[in-house]
Amino acid sequence: MASLAHAPSRSLTATGRPDPAPAPARSSVRYLGPNWYAAVMGTAIVANAGAVLPLTAPGLRPACAVVWALSALMLVTLLAARAVHWIRHRDQARRQLLDPAVAPFYGCLSMALLAVGGGTLSVGREVIGERAALATGAVLWVLGTLVGLAAAAAIPYLMVTRHRIEAGSASPVWLLPLVAPMVSAAVGPALVPRLPGEQWREAMLLACSAMFGMSLLATLLVLPLVVARLFHHGPPPLALTPALFLVLGPLGQSTTAVGNLADAAPGAVDASYAHATAAFAVLYGVPVMGFALLWLAFATAMVVRAFRGGMPFTMTWWGFTFPVGTCVTGAAGLARHTGLAAFGWLAVALFAVLVTAWAVAAVRTGTGLTRGRLLAPPR
């Protein structure tokens, strides 16, 4: 678990506390890791979650459009910076890929593409127009899906064949490449009605269902390792405690996926299958959302404990955003399919938590960048 201290961009001492004000790096992108895509994901999910809330509030849709535009700008900027990183600092890029603490964050690239693409389809069309939004969303979904499938296969392969993983070092970060196909399964149904012909629509729906199963079963293999590590080895280091929120990702995203698949099923598959999909969205989503709330309570208690112990700010704080956002979209989907106002209010309450967490993480990240701490070389 100690090796995971390299995941945040800011270096840590042996006690888990940050090193005092390291000197700025000669090249600001040399130590730019794939974990920075979490900031794009965390920003895009604010727009995506706000767009599906079961309420109408003045200014909500325009605000979501502004946040989506910000996430798109962040994505373009980060893609360019990471390209420079790979061109100029290939040694560091290879070192990150072969580091078991950093490599799983390559799943964040896929989810950043997919999250911005999903926002393009939901609120971006109000800014750039229907046709441009559809084309952009489709391209981002294809790219994000391909990257996500590659990461879901390649990162576990590297962990088995190249990485040296110590006993008791299982981390929620391991879930990141495995959740990426689930994000594809949740965003893809929005493209189903726009496809020509029943064969294309059915193929797309079943492909998303296959990625749902792929991600779910892989998560069920890894999650027990994470829980066992906590029970046998105690809490994670203070700076890595926010990573516990990553467990909410596959829970909320899978609930979102089954709801979106049920919405897209009519007209894509036989009526009997569409009815079964709608029933599964509730029968699966309600128990999983219950477990998500249980884990949210547990993770929050662990974070409060870490705060009292002096938990510093690192880029792991972005783990408070995207996973909670998936629970917002999952609860909103359950509100649509059950008609229960309780799920609607749950979505609104979680959205308030999401916005607060995003604001704190964004301000602290901006401050860290301005002072040159987040991209400083590790010690």
pTM, whole model, 2 decimals?
0.91
Closest CA to 181 of 144, 148, 155: 148
What's the pLDDT band for 24 if we cut at 50, 70, 90? very low
Torsion sign (Cα): 54, 57, 62, 68: negative
Q: Are 42 and 358 in contact (CB under 8 A)?
A: yes
* pLDDT value, residue 379: 65
Domain count, the chain: 1
- The answer to the question of residue 12 being in a domain is no
Q: What is the mean pLDDT of residues 178-195?
A: 96
- The answer to the question of residue 378 being in a domain is no
* Average per-residue pLDDT for the chain: 91
Q: Are 373 and 364 in contact (CB under 8 A)?
A: no
* pLDDT value, residue 167: 81
pLDDT above 80 for 302:
yes
In single-letter form, the type of residue at position 14 comes to A
pLDDT above 60 for 294:
yes
269 φ, ψ to 5°? -130, 170
- The answer to the question of residue 375 being in a domain is no
Torsion sign (Cα): 12, 14, 17, 20: negative
pLDDT above 90 for 4:
no
CB neighbour burial string for 140-173, b if at least 16 within 10 angstroms, e if fewer: bbeebbebbbbbbeebbebbeeebeeeeebbbbb
Which residues, listed in sequence order, are joined to residue 269 by a DSSP beta bridge?
266
Q: Compute how many other C-beta atoms are within 10 angstroms of the C-beta atom of residue 367.
A: 12
Q: What is the mean pLDDT of residues 137-153?
A: 97
pLDDT above 80 for 1:
no
What's the pLDDT band for 13 if we cut at 50, 70, 90? very low
* pLDDT value, residue 168: 81
- The answer to the question of residue 199 being in a domain is yes
User: Looking up tokens 């662990």, which residue turns up?
Assistant: 302
* pLDDT value, residue 26: 46
* pLDDT value, residue 47: 97
Write the pLDDT tens digit of every residue in 256-273. 999 999 999 998 899 889
Residues 6+ positions from 221 with CB-CB distance below 8 Å: none
Tell me which residue range forms the domain holding 146: 22-370
* pLDDT value, residue 8: 39
- The answer to the question of residue 7 being in a domain is no
- The answer to the question of residue 3 being in a domain is no
What's the pLDDT band for 372 if we cut at 50, 70, 90? confident
Cα distance between the two ends of the chain: 18
Write the pLDDT tens digit of every residue in 83-126. 999 999 999 999 999 999 999 999 999 999 999 999 999 999 99
State the Cα torsion 38-40-45-48 to the nearest 10°.
Answer: -160
Instruction: State the Cα–Cα distance between residues 214 and 152, nearest whole angstrom.
Output: 9
* pLDDT value, residue 376: 82
- The answer to the question of residue 73 being in a domain is yes
- The answer to the question of residue 126 being in a domain is yes
Q: What is the CATH number of the domain that holds 275?
A: 1.50.10.150
Residues 6+ positions from 187 with CB-CB distance below 8 Å: 114, 115, 117, 118, 121, 141, 144, 260
User: Looking up tokens 């920075």, which residue turns up?
Assistant: 36
